[in-house]
Structure 1
Amino acid sequence: MILKIQEFIVVEGKDDTVAIKRAVDADTIETNGSAINQKTLQRIKHAQQKRGVIVFTDPDYPGRRIRAIIEQHVPNVKHAFLSKEKAIAKNGNGLGVEHASNEAIQKALREVYTPHAYDIEEIITREDLIMANLLGNPQAKARRTRLGEILMIGETNAKQLHKRLQMFQISAEEFGEAVTQLNLEEQHE
């Protein structure tokens, strides 16, 4: 049975739409890459009001930029994330949703995050991030990347990590389990 998604899925381009429709039953809105304009943002706002929106952009700088623009203009959209590992083309030349397997796309869309208001109680503090070697450590960037994969919240810089943990209300338990997994992985390298 094919997974049916009620919300519109916002992707970057036509190849992403093809990959989404190959993996799930869903409607998409294409941003035409980084060239996202006011007309597209209006379509996304309208879609959010009618059926909801899931932003599903590539795990690279342009994808993060598009995601940020949409977040700024259309509050409370949902987010689906792919790790770079799951989005690399089989030949190694290319990175994006269009290169992901059906299973990776389905998993990302099953584990969608809904942001919460920013004025909620802080669960994971900056001190927690420092203690977990996610800030102020030579391996912090690599650890943040892997943590983002484990928690399915995407790749982030230090400031974005704190914001995303709060926005998606990652619990102290989820965070602790992810850090433990990260530490165990590093011990076995």
Structure 2
Amino acid sequence: MKIKEVIVVEGKDDTVAIKRAVDADTIETNGSAINESTLAQIALAQERRGVIVLTDPDYPGERIRRIISDRIPDCLHAFLPKKEAISKNQDDLGVENAKPEAIRQALVHAKQEEAKSQERFDVIDWQDLHAAGLIAGSHSKRRRERIGEILHIGYANGKQLHKRLQKFRITENEFKEAIERVFEEEQNE
């Protein structure tokens, strides 16, 4: 599978994992120490070929993603579920631990954030999140994790989930289908 966009990852081990999964070029941020030179490279890559940001599903990975999003608009974002990025002995979380198929799936489902200058896309509101048991419930964390996997927007707390639903323009129908799937899975457990 050939990817025309440049994939932004955190480090060398991530690049190795990407190259096992797809034929693509990468830019490494060297962890959360992303500097101006790296941001300039990412901006040039976005201008010439497009960029897909694929960082670890943890706080530092989200921080890097946010820095890139704030500086370089229109990048695509790919998310790996935590369960796909955890090492065999469960002590390391990162892109480098993901199987090639999980990386390919994340890249296939990469999404673009809503442009900041566009009108807000408030289809799904807080009441929808509460009604679906995604906030302040006994199963809310697990449900948010599963919703993030189904919609390919990554795990987030309640506030961040609401923001991502807007940023990635998740429709009311997509949201409802994902919630129904989560409830169906829970009943079959």
TM-score band, normalised by shorter chain:
over 0.9
Aligned length: 187
Give, in angstroms, the shift of residue 188 of structure 1: 2.8
Please give the alpha-carbon distance, in whole angstroms, between the structure 2 residues aligned to 1:115 and 1:63: 17
CA distance in 2, matches of 1:33, 1:7: 20
Residue 38 (structure 1) aligns with: 36
**Paired residue for 1:72?**
70
Cα distance in structure 2, aligned partners of 1:121 and 1:13: 34
**1:54 counterpart SS class:** strand
Q: Which amino acid aligns with 2:45?
A: A
Range 179-188 or range 112-121, more displaced: 112-121
**2:131 is equivalent to residue 123 of structure 1:** no
Moved more, 137-146 or 151-160: 137-146
Match of 1:148 in 2: 148
| SS in structure 1 of the partner of residue 68 of structure 2 | helix
Question: Cα distance, 1:139 vs. partner?
Answer: 2.6
CA drift of 1:174 comes to 1.1
* Distance in 2 separating the partners of 1:123 and 1:112: 21
Q: CA deviation at 1:92?
A: 2.5
Structure 2 matches for 1:167-182, cutoff 5 A? 167-182=167-182
Q: TM-score of the superposition, structure 2-length normalised? A: 0.94
SS in 2 for 1:34: coil
SS at match of 2:14: helix
Identity over aligned residues, as a percent? 58
Q: Superposed, which structure 2 residues align to 1:1-189 within 5 Å?
A: 3-118=1-116, 119-189=119-189
- Post-superposition Cα deviations, 1:4-43, rounded to whole Å, max 9, x if no partner, equal 1111100000000001011101000000001111111111
Structure 1: runs of 5 or more not aligned: none
Task: List per-residue Cα deviations over 1:45-83 (Å, max 9, x = no partner).
Answer: 111111111000011111111111111111111100100
**What amino acid is the match of 2:162?**
H
3-state secondary structure, aligned to 2:111: coil
